[in-house]
Amino acid sequence: MIRWSCRATRRLLESHHDGELPMEARASIQNHLRQCPSCSGERHRLRQVGVELRAAVSDHAAG
Amino acid sequence: MNQARNQQRWWRRRRRSSQVSLDLHVSQHGDPVGEAQMAPDRLFARKELGRRLWAALEGLPFDQRSVVALREIDGLSYEEIAFSLGVTLGTVKSRLTRARQALRSVLQEATP
């Protein structure tokens, strides 16, 4: 498995988050995320955008 | 726009077989905390954040708004979005990144 730097991880983090990367790259990024609190925090913030946006849309639809 | 909607419907029909009901999802993953169980101040903060995010979504340029909605709300893949809107994968990615950055800045302001 290739060892990923933070820079490489950040570049592909959004595609990874969206499930758009091939299996090998996905595994390498997951490995990096397990070891890097900074990148894993970035991933968490990316995830929160989707979570909060869906909640906002749902609230708006409910009135 | 109608053509994009038709193409999106086609993708949705294709995807429907892999979807699960909400009841099944809740039985497997548990029920999220309901609003009735939330403290009033937390509930207010959550509603306020929702209002701000909705306003930010509406304030996005149409190109970015449609891409982020198709991805985050409808769950379409990059390829499906590109097909639906008649744009390249690169365009989908760049619009999605810009839209998320804008929404994220609203989140950061609301939850420093």
Q: Report pTM.
A: 0.75
Report the amino acid identity of residue A53. Answer: L
pLDDT in tens, A5-51: 899 999 999 999 999 999 999 999 999 999 999 999 999 999 999 99
Instruction: Note the pLDDT of residue B25.
Output: 46
| Residue A6 at interface with chain B, using a CB cutoff of 8 Å | no
Q: Which of A18, A45, A60 comes nearest B71 by C-beta?
A: A18
**For chain A, domain boundaries:** 6-62
pLDDT above 50 for B27: no
pLDDT per residue as tens digits for the range B87-103: 999 999 999 999 999 99
ipTM for the whole predicted complex goes beyond 0.95 = no
Alpha-carbon gap: A37 to the closest alpha carbon of chain B (Å): 19
Among the partner residues B47, B96, B103, nearest to A53 by beta-carbon distance: B103
Which candidate, B99, B70, B56, B35, places its Cα nearest to that of A14? B99
- Supply the pLDDT for residue B28: 47
- Which domains are assigned to chain B? 2-110 (1.10.10.10)
Contact assignment for B49 to A20 by CB distance below 8 Å? no
Give pLDDT, residue A49: 94
